[in-house]
Amino acid sequence: MNPFKEFRTVPDASSFAPVTLITETAAMRPDVFGGRAKCLQRLIRLQMPVPTTVALSFDAVRGIARGQMPDIGALMAPFGAAPLLSVRPSSLDPDWGGPGAILNIGLCDASHASLSASLGADVATKLYLQFIQIYATQVARLNPDAFHFDVRGGISAVRSALSAYEAEMDEPFPQDPAEQLSEVLRSMARTWEGTSARLLRQAKGAPSDAGLGLVVQTMAFGVGPGESGAGVIQFADSNTGAPRITGRYLSQSQGREALAAATGAIYLTHDTRGSSLEDENPAVFARLKAFGQIARTRLREEMQIEFTLSDGVLHIIDAVRVPRTVRAAVRIAVDLAESGIIPRDEAVHRIDVQAISAMLHRQVNPDAARDLILRAIGASPGAAHGKVVLTAEDAQAAAARGEAAILVRRETTPEDIRGMHAAAGVLTQRGGVTSHAAVVGRGLGVPCVVGASGLVIDRRGGRVIAPDGRVILAGDTITVDGFNGEVLAGEAPLREAQLDDAFQTLLAWADASRDIGIRANADTPRDARIASTFAAEGIGLCRTEHMFFEGDRIGMMREMIFAANSQERREVLGRLLPTQRQDFIRLFEIMNGKPVCIRLFDPPLHEFLPSDRAGMRDLADGLSLPLADVMARVEAMSEYNPMLGLRGVRLGITVPEIYEMQARAIFEATVAVSRDGLSVTPEIMIPLVSARREVQLVRGQIDAVASAVRAQSGVEFTYRLGVMVETPRAALRAGDIAQDVAFLSFGTNDLTQMTYGLSRDDAGRFMPAYLANQVFPDDPFHTLDLEGVGELLQIGAARARGSHQGVTLSVCGEHGGSAQTIAFCRKQGFDYVSCSPFRVPLARLAAAQIAI
Ligand code: PEP
Ligand code: MG
């Protein structure tokens, strides 16, 4: 569904009269006159009492900014003799801002005299003084200090203000309403063209040529005799979206004064806190309620209505969408659909995919003051505060004491995983969005900020030094905001995640509309539970190596690495087997029959070895080996380019015992859960493949293990074998490789790394310069490079399907959850994408929006 579709078939903007009286039938389009003008027309069509309004088109306002003023006499003709007017901005999207409204245009000595007769001298004088002040400062742009006159000064304050204006401008205050109006229009048009306004709106997504329309309206006075006043009413709560009448009304006021007033404003509905419009003027309240209902059903939106009472007569001045949090946006969209006002698909479309991530994680209260220490890359969403710790061990110790800790590291390595698990948040000096800290942080749902290159970490001194020189000691509290990459001093107030029924309903509707699968990358039972909560359709990637860092397993891994021969390796791995089997049993149980794709061991073995002397001494003690032997072995295993070295399937072939143990653990887990009535067809995935023969060799090993387990257990089972396409060669040879497997899953992290020849762990150092110089339009580890990496995906998918039509295709790199990747994969006929568990809801929504 394309919200702009309707514009394609209608005439172009130049065929609209640039200045148009808004009537039920006038030609009025939001992309020509702005959203406010269009909305006012809708209110008029709904028979609401809207004062006479004239709209100026974007073109008209552009002309005014260039000095081409439309015929003001003609513009003012619909308002009759000696009108008092307001002018309000009307851009396509109200969020783009714009100049503030100006009221009471036309007030001059003559109209002041006649208003004094009709509204009373005090009221007329107050309005005149306020208008002179606003005109002088906002239209003539005079120094506000020269216009501080107290309304209590009455007519003499007006005289002083008029003289001050004349003194500053060398000409009298304009007494001609037409001249006042021209100047107001000119100043608003120019404000919109100004650099700061342009930058502000572009930051909110406005295109560089976004236009401004203006609406000129007869003033409905909220001041004067009888019941006069102004107010604002809405029918849904801005925070929660729940149906609730809120707003304020202030007697003897205009515009939105009621919302700003410190005293005097009353509530709309009967309220124990004080008087209300409902009690004091039930007839008006009832009409407003009826208008709210009409606006909701006919404008298909929750509207905030601005109204005025003039001597008891109700006018509707304006209506805008109820301002709302994401949570409220979801509730409102769902309620509108459940009331039959909008279709479900439209409700799904109305929600901003990125914005909902704020509902899944805690966030820094947006209203709270922020003491910013630094700003880097927000790599795992959510916010957390805690005491600074500089080692993984300290993070664990803090967790054991029940204290929240923020783990601050130069970068994280697999050795830090337990510390990351224990930490409330992570901050690293190095790295980008696919660095270890970022990937693990997202997987764990731990807020993470990476690439804080200006940070100095003085581990020995137990302190870190911020880019501004501020010293933060270990134990000091900081807050990390993984949404925007900010690190704040102290304990910033946080807001809880807000999953509610409306959100679940919306996602269920999204599921009904989408046509590509969404799985989760989940390594641990905790991840799997989150994946399950977010209704992932299975696990698309279980990175098994993370399991080997837990508890005493790292010790066994090290023993295995130091084993003298295959027999010894098997013996150590045999001790790891039961725990690994238990890992898989738990994953199968949690996923309850949904597919679980387990990737065999991937990283270089040296990642399990200590990197410093103290660690090596510990290891030597543990293995009863001379320190020199341990050091020599570690040295011998080091590689110049470990990510291109002995890892993934290359390990599987050269040290086959690891994959054999893992395959056995997977099959024995399958047998175990099948005895409890759960039918599982495990998926086994081989990483870093670049040649078909690699697959055939590993397949032979795994088949042999499967046969052995079948024979030993007497239980029949099948499994699906797949390959991770992470090297450019695997993509190019996908036609070959696909013949031996049931599925191919594109690992776009490594594939991006290898296609660009760009280290995913180091790119953060120069990526900002590359982006600033537009070498890359985006960080390719963050946004899938459709031109290069995407072409490899396209080629790989086409060749794979060419030789094996039913082969399952997926993406499981970090790009998997983004709308852009989903759209691309869907177009290429992929079966599913797999992403971090916390991105699953976003991916479900994005996939539906793409399909609708
Ligand atoms: C990948 O390379 O895209 C992938 C999913 O694997 P990892 O991030 O574990 O290297
Ligand atoms: Mg990889």
CA angle (622, 543, 641) in 5-degree steps? 70
Q: Do 524 and 437 lie in a common domain?
A: no
- pLDDT of 166-205, one tens digit each? 999 999 999 999 999 999 999 999 999 988 888 888 888 8
Is 114 part of any domain? no
417 ligand 1 Cβ < 6 A = no
Q: Is 644 in contact with 683 (CB distance < 8 Å)? A: no
Q: Do 397 and 453 lie in a common domain?
A: yes
Is 201 part of any domain? yes
Note the ligand closest to the C-alpha atom of 545: 1
Is 138 part of any domain? no
Is 78 part of any domain? yes
Q: Do 671 and 693 lie in a common domain?
A: yes
Q: Do 184 and 318 lie in a common domain?
A: no
Task: Tell me the average pLDDT across 765-777.
Answer: 90
Q: Is 68 in contact with 186 (CB distance < 8 Å)? A: no
Is 816 part of any domain? yes
Give one DSSP letter per residue of 549-616, joined into a string: GSTTHHHHHHHHHT-SSHHHHHHHHHHHHHHHHHHHHHHHHHHTTS-EEEEPP-S-GGGGS--SHHHH
Q: Do 84 and 208 lie in a common domain?
A: yes
Residue 631 CA to residue 629 CA, distance in Å, equals 5
In this predicted structure, the answer to whether residue 612 has a pLDDT above a threshold of 90 is no
112 φ, ψ to 5°? -60, -40
CA of 749 to the centre of ligand 1 (A): 5
43 ligand 1 Cβ < 6 A = no
- Residues 29-58 as b or e (16 or more Cβ within 10 Å = b): bbbbbbbbbbbbbbbbebebbbbbbbbbbb
Is 657 part of any domain? yes
In this predicted structure, the answer to whether residue 4 has a pLDDT above a threshold of 70 is no
pLDDT attached to residue 6: 42
Q: Do 396 and 527 lie in a common domain?
A: no
In this predicted structure, the answer to whether residue 273 has a pLDDT above a threshold of 80 is no
Domain-ending residue, one of 266, 290, 324: 324
Is 622 part of any domain? no
Q: Do 553 and 683 lie in a common domain?
A: yes
746 φ, ψ to 5°? -80, 115
Q: Do 664 and 528 lie in a common domain?
A: yes
Task: Tell me the average pLDDT across 150-163.
Answer: 94
Task: Tell me the average pLDDT across 741-766.
Answer: 93
Is 139 part of any domain? no
813 ligand 1 Cβ < 6 A = yes
Q: Do 445 and 302 lie in a common domain?
A: no
DSSP annotation of 102 reads E
Q: Residue 18 is encoded by which pair of tokens?
A: 């640039």
Q: Residue 812 CA: which ligand 1 atom is closest?
A: 5
Residue 244 belongs to domain with CATH number = 3.30.470.20
Residue 480 belongs to domain with CATH number = 3.50.30.10
Q: Residue 261 is encoded by which pair of tokens?
A: 């007033």
Helix/strand/coil (H/E/C) assignment for every residue in 230-267: EEEEEEECCCCCCEEEEEEEEECCCCCHHHHCCCCCEE
Q: Do 687 and 576 lie in a common domain?
A: yes
Number of domains in the chain: 4
Tell the residue nearest (CA) to atom 6 of ligand 1. 747
Beta strands at 517-521 and 596-599: parallel, antiparallel or unpaired: unpaired
Element (H, E) at 296: helix 282-299
Residue 73 belongs to domain with CATH number = 3.30.1490.20
Q: Do 562 and 669 lie in a common domain?
A: yes
- pLDDT of 446-466, one tens digit each? 999 999 989 999 999 999 999
pLDDT attached to residue 10: 57
pLDDT attached to residue 756: 97
Lookup result for tokens 């008087």: 275
Give the CA count within 13 Å in the CB-facing half-sphere of 236.
Answer: 28
- pLDDT of 569-608, one tens digit each? 999 999 999 999 999 999 999 999 999 999 999 999 988 8
Query: Could you tell me which residues come within 8 angstroms of residue 364 by beta carbon, excluding any fewer than 6 positions away?
Result: 370, 383, 479, 481, 486, 488, 492, 493, 494, 495
Boundaries of domain holding 281: 229-324
Query: Which spans in 11-93 are helix H?
Result: 30-33, 35-45, 58-65, 72-76
Catalytic residue among 812, 815, 825, 835: 812
- pLDDT of 110-133, one tens digit each? 999 999 998 899 999 999 999 999
CA of 818 to the centre of ligand 1 (A): 16
Nearest to 544 by CA among 596, 580, 506: 580
Residue 92 CA to residue 558 CA, distance in Å, equals 63
Total Cβ atoms within 10 A of residue 481 = 26
Query: Could you tell me which residues come within 8 angstroms of residue 426 by beta carbon, excluding any fewer than 6 positions away?
Result: 380, 406, 407, 408, 409, 412, 420, 437, 441, 446, 447, 448, 449, 450, 480
541 ligand 1 Cβ < 6 A = yes
Residue 101 CA to residue 787 CA, distance in Å, equals 46
CA of 747 to the centre of ligand 1 (A): 5
Give the CA count within 13 Å in the CB-facing half-sphere of 371.
Answer: 10
Query: Could you tell me which residues come within 8 angstroms of residue 618 by beta carbon, excluding any fewer than 6 positions away?
Result: 610
Task: Tell me the average pLDDT across 198-220.
Answer: 91
Q: Do 573 and 701 lie in a common domain?
A: yes
pLDDT attached to residue 11: 66
In this predicted structure, the answer to whether residue 847 has a pLDDT above a threshold of 60 is yes
Residue 280 CA to residue 288 CA, distance in Å, equals 14
Task: Tell me the average pLDDT across 780-799.
Answer: 97
Amino acid of residue 154: G
